[in-house]
Amino acid sequence: MAARKSVFVHSPQLEKYKYPSQCPFNVSRAGKVRKVINSMGLLDGDFRREVAPEAASRAVLEKFHTKEYLDALQDAAQGDFDVELLYMGIGTSDCPVFEDMYDYSVMACGATLTGAKLILSGQAELAFNPSGGLHHAGPKKASGFCYMNDVAIGCLTLAQAGKRILYFDVDVHHGDGVQNAFYDRNDVMTISFHQNGRTIFPGTGFEDEIGTGRGKGFSVNVPLPMGTDDKAYMEAFKAIVLPLAKAYKPDCFVFELGADGLAGDPLARLQLTNNTYADIIYKLLEFNIPILMTGGGGYNIENTVRAWSLAWSVLCGADAEDKHANAGLGGVMLESTDWPGGLRDRQLPINDSQHKTVTRQIKTTTDYIKKNVFPIHGI
């Protein structure tokens, strides 16, 4: 596959911010990814580079968020808290008030916007912001560790430039904030693969949520049963995402790569390895259109860092099977002795009985989508 202009969007400024220690969301992941891929020599060369993000402007943020909400968020970060903010999701257990919450969110949004602008200008074809993927935030509400919705704003920015966007979200939690933003639109198709909302936050993302008005058929959800493995996941991906992408013919992918679907994540119950994420990226690259990739969830820090490092190595054209990925980097680079086999996870054994149960449940979902969504796109 020919090399393409790839940009890793990050700066030391993003590493200065912190969520409260009791919060599972850890912003150190992006800096740790940067350390790994830099050690592998994957931040420079003819087609790879690192770009520092610009903070998102207030005008751009207000394309999605209300002025009143942004004011309240900024005031709360500065210590001016009112109990009424709870109605905006500010000060809850999953969106606590802390000093850095406004500034970090502005920079994380800015990093995704920087990637979008580089793609629009032709300076990049592939961009990765590991600090992004804050997909739960609404126009006037914080939710699920997310205060500003960088991916919704990124999709809006690309769509307003006349691009057809396919937003694909593999975070284990449903991408509700992005779905809601485009539920009645057809210039942004949203596809979310996530653990079934009956068993996990935010309790949404069922297969019958397919959009409304001109957006009917442009919102697609694949709720997955607990225990979903790599094989079952990829079968669903090939059955749903690839046909829809071919029919929709997007100009750009926005790919939210939450890594909390990995086996061992403390907040979820899927059984994936990072090999699945790599396989998905290879498939997306075959469309030969720009990809704006972000981070997202991922609460086993070491597993998330390895997954995102592998994802970048695939995205930027470094063969994930080459010597870089198999030189013991898992143990040496990640300062862990859990798995010395490189960036790729070990293959997990599949329980035949569980796999059959999972596959049967997923087939019910994919059959529903094929019946109710595919005909809208001529499939």
pLDDT (tens digit, 9 = 90+) per residue, 326-365? 444 444 344 443 445 579 999 999 899 999 999 999 999 9
- CATH number of the domain bearing residue 314: 3.40.800.20
pLDDT band at 319 (very low <50, low <70, confident <90, very high): low
- 10 has catalytic annotation: no
Q: Which of 134, 315, 347 is nearest to 234 (CA)?
A: 347
How far is C-alpha 55 from the geometric centre of its chain's CA atoms?
Answer: 20
- Mean pLDDT lowest among 142-156, 208-222, 344-358: 344-358
pLDDT band at 176 (very low <50, low <70, confident <90, very high): very high
pLDDT band at 1 (very low <50, low <70, confident <90, very high): low
**DSSP collapsed to 3 states, 29-69:** HHHHHHHHHHHCCCCCCCCEEEECCCCCCHHHHCCCCCHHH
Tell me if 88 is assigned to some domain: yes
Burial (0-12, 13-18, 19+ Cβ within 10 Å), 327: middle
Write down the pLDDT at residue 341.
Answer: 58
List of residues 6+ apart from 14 with CB closer than 8 A: 27, 30, 31, 53, 104, 107, 108, 111, 131
Q: What is the DSSP string of 142-156?
A: -BTTBSS-HHHHHHH
Alpha-carbon distance values, 347 to 7, 221, 238, 332 (Å): 30, 27, 20, 20
How far is C-alpha 195 from the geometric centre of its chain's CA atoms?
Answer: 14
Q: Per the structure block, which two tokens stand in for 7?
A: 């940009």
Strands of the sheet containing 252-256, edge to edge, are 48-51, 6-9, 126-129, 291-294, 252-256, 165-169, 188-195, 219-224
Give per-residue pLDDT as tens, 287-296: 999 999 999 9
Alpha-carbon distance values, 146 to 23, 25, 70, 278 (Å): 12, 9, 13, 25
Mean pLDDT for the stretch of residues 149-159: 98
Average pLDDT of the chain, as a whole number: 94
Write down the pLDDT at residue 131.
Answer: 98
Cβ-contact 173, 144 below 8 angstroms:
yes
Q: Which of 129, 117, 113, 137 is nearest to 65 (CA)?
A: 137
Tell me if 1 is assigned to some domain: no
Write down the pLDDT at residue 45.
Answer: 87
Tell me if 278 is assigned to some domain: yes
Q: Between 350 and 196, where is the model more confident?
A: 196
- Mean pLDDT lowest among 29-33, 81-85, 139-143, 276-280: 81-85
Cβ-contact 126, 4 below 8 angstroms:
yes
Mean pLDDT for the stretch of residues 210-226: 98
Mean pLDDT for the stretch of residues 144-156: 98
pLDDT band at 230 (very low <50, low <70, confident <90, very high): very high
Tell me if 207 is assigned to some domain: yes
Q: What is the pTM of this model?
A: 0.95
Cα angle: 229, vertex 339, 279; to 5 degrees: 40
The total number of residues shown for the chain amounts to: 379
CA distance 298 to 266: 9
Given the residues 65, 136, 173, 324, the one annotated as active site:
136
Domain count for the chain, please give it. 1
Residue 116 has pLDDT above 50, yes or no: yes
CA distance 358 to 89: 34
Domain ranges, residue 78 = 6-377
Tell me if 123 is assigned to some domain: yes
pLDDT band at 81 (very low <50, low <70, confident <90, very high): confident
CA distance 233 to 177: 23
Can you say whether residue 268 is alpha, beta or left, with left for phi > 0 and alpha for psi between -120 and 50 degrees?
beta
